[in-house]
Structure 1
Amino acid sequence: MALDPQGDAPEDLSHAGSVTDKAIEYMMEQGIAPISIASALLGGALGLMAREMEDKAIANVLRSALRSVENGELQEMRRQGAEPPAAS
């Protein structure tokens, strides 16, 4: 898995984010409740991380997500009506 030029994220992160966005869009069109979609995606992500990553790396991903919440990044997205960025 190659990193981007700054070394921050895998180069295929954008593609994975696009595929995830399409899956979310599809589930919304099917009438699946947003909390069910989010819970399923989070559970799947945690399962994948558990199979592929060490606990320390998982904790770093979760800390990064928590910092985004604490810094108000998600509130800003809500105000702008924007899609959330893919996790890094």
Structure 2
Amino acid sequence: MEEASKAKKAKKGFMTPERKKKLRLLLRKKAAEELKKEQERKAAERRRIIEERCGKPKNIDDANEVSLTSIITGYHQRITKLEEEKYDR
């Protein structure tokens, strides 16, 4: 019986305040990592959806007047098509 009471006392002191602090710290770190991974995954999904809906961005910095005109014409046609689809529904 004395051994059982000693074992209970030994088990009772298993989670010392230092161990609790370390455990909390580890749990916070793990939660922060998971949150960061989730945010990165959501950002990648958001970028993918935007790229899918809008297409790849055109380089207009180095474009001359003719290429700018063709880019703008393409955008105008796309907008017109989207507006027609919106009102056809």
TM-score by length of 2: 0.29
Greater relative contact order, per chain length (Cα 8 Å cut-off, separation 6+): 1
Higher percent of residues as helix: 2
Q: Which has the larger radius of gyration?
A: 2
